[in-house]
Amino acid sequence: MFTDFFYLLRKKGVPVTVTEWVSFIEALYNGYFQSSLNHLYYVGRAFLVKSEAYYDMFDQAFQEYFGGIKTEGPELDKVLDWLENPLHKLPKMTPEEIAEFQQRLEEFRKEHNMDELMKQFMERLKEQKERHDGGGKWIGTGGTSPFGAYGHHPGGIRVGGESWMQSAAKVAEERRFRNYRNDIILDVRQTKMALKKLRELKREGAQEELDIDETIDKTAKEGGEIELVFNRSRENTVRIILLMDTGGSMLPYTELCERLFSAASQMEHFKEFKYFFFHNCIYQDIYEDIANYKRIPTEKLFSQFHKGYKVVLVGDARMAYSELFDVNGCIDYFSTNDKPSIEWLMKIKQHFPHSVWLNPTHKNFWGHYTVDTVGKVFPMFELTLDGLKDAIKALTSKAKPSVLN
């Protein structure tokens, strides 16, 4: 009967897998949820959700599926009464049954393509809502689902009565875990966590790690005379250059960029971490400070740093057409530039094949000609935790040539 809850979870974005669902059902039928909504919420969550980032989505799904029960004041007694005296005893699931269940779920997934599944799901959802309105009936048989045979919840659902800190429905309703969602915030700690993925292990430094294979090999060759072979230990060799836009349109995102910056500079595991700033777009000069006083020629990037450096550009990439494509297009009144900015960008991409652009603005606002163009030169990602993860994936995978080349 809960199968539509499974699909509801998936629809809300919780990556529940069949394995997890089966263990959940198994626990359910073994009576571990003690027939209470609170157990179902907390213990169910422990089985189905494996990261606090998805707690909020779980809350939403739970609220949608079970939330109705709260509003049905007078009916509740009836439901409770009915639950006290369940009509049927529940079948216990054997391993074979579980396997069959899993197989059926797989078949079901194969049979229905995604659209159809969604449609069916929506229909079911509607139905479910109606039942809610009708008053607690949702606890009844789940005949319409392909897994209807498993009948009811073990002892029914008892609401309240126990000294939980807060009732599950209320917790779900509060959506306390909203701030843990991956697609919303990016704090320093999370950023650091994401940046840790950015690594390339290579053997460098002093030879102090005993190479056992080599030692055995050598010793055997020496006829048993022990010959110790040492090796360099593996170290992260990632070198990063961060280029940040300090232009006026970036002001609303200062704090966000600050967090990225402080996370990156706190990372001790980079071999090297360099940072520079630019104003709206990159021309012949970039700056070593945020206030754009200490300028250094952009050419220096190419002479000082080899192509192994990974370059992360941060900016909204939103500017006037002329700023990107025209000679002397730079927004600063006193600056001139004899090369349009786009050429510099392409030069950077050519010199540093591993480079990405992080955009603090929401993807929905990217429909702008300069954003599109920059996005064609550099793979562009949102400056969210998910975006950052994708960006890091792109940085560590093999570089693709830019489209404009």
Partner 1 sequence: MVTGQGYKGSEDYIASKPLMEIVNVSVALGKPLVIKGEPGTGKTLLAHSISTALNKKLLIWNVKSTTKAKDGLYVYDTIQRLNDARFKDKDISDIRQYIKMGKLGQAFKSDEQLVLLIDEIDKADVEFPNDLLNELDEMSFHIPELDEEVTAIHRPVVIITSNSEKELPDAFLRRCVFHYIEFPDEEMMEKIVRVHYPDIENKLVREAIKRFYWIRDVDGLRKKPSTSELIDWIKALSLGGISTDKISSEIPFLGAILKNEQDTGRFIKLSHAQGGGFGFKRRF
Residue 218 in contact with partner 1, rule: CB under 8 A: no
Size, binding site for partner 1 by CB under 8 A: 42
Question: Nearest to residue 38, comparing CAs of 157, 156, 131?
Answer: 157
Residue 290 in contact with partner 1, rule: CB under 8 A: no
User: 211 vs 343, which CB is nearer to partner 1?
Assistant: 211
Tell how strand 295-297 and strand 285-287 pair up: antiparallel
Question: What is residue 89's DSSP assignment?
Answer: P
- By the 10 Å C-beta count (0-12 exposed, 13-18 middle, 19+ buried), 131 is classed as middle
Question: Nearest to residue 245, comparing CAs of 341, 293, 340, 317?
Answer: 317
Residue 39 in contact with partner 1, rule: CB under 8 A: yes
In the complex, minimum distance from the CB of residue 273 to partner 1, in angstroms, rounded to a whole number: 18
In the complex, minimum distance from the CB of residue 395 to partner 1, in angstroms, rounded to a whole number: 16
Residue 212 in contact with partner 1, rule: CB under 8 A: yes
User: 219 vs 402, which CB is nearer to partner 1?
Assistant: 219
Residue 106 in contact with partner 1, rule: CB under 8 A: no
Are the beta carbons of 59 and 171 closer than 8 angstroms?
A: yes
Question: What is residue 204's DSSP assignment?
Answer: E
Tokens 């730079």 map to which residue?
A: 330
In the complex, minimum distance from the CB of residue 176 to partner 1, in angstroms, rounded to a whole number: 7
Residue 17 in contact with partner 1, rule: CB under 8 A: yes
Residue 105 in contact with partner 1, rule: CB under 8 A: no
Using CB under 8 A, pick the residue from 165, 206, 291, 403 that binds partner 1. 165
User: 80 vs 193, which CB is nearer to partner 1?
Assistant: 193
Q: What is the DSSP string of 118-172?
A: HHHHHHHHHHHHHHHHHHSGGGS--TTSTTGGG-S-SS--B-S-S--SS-HHHHH
Which chain residues interact with partner 1 by CB under 8 A?
Answer: 15, 17, 19-20, 23, 26-27, 30-32, 34, 38-39, 42-43, 46-47, 49-52, 55, 162-165, 176, 180, 188-189, 193, 196-197, 210, 212, 216, 219, 224-226, 255, 262
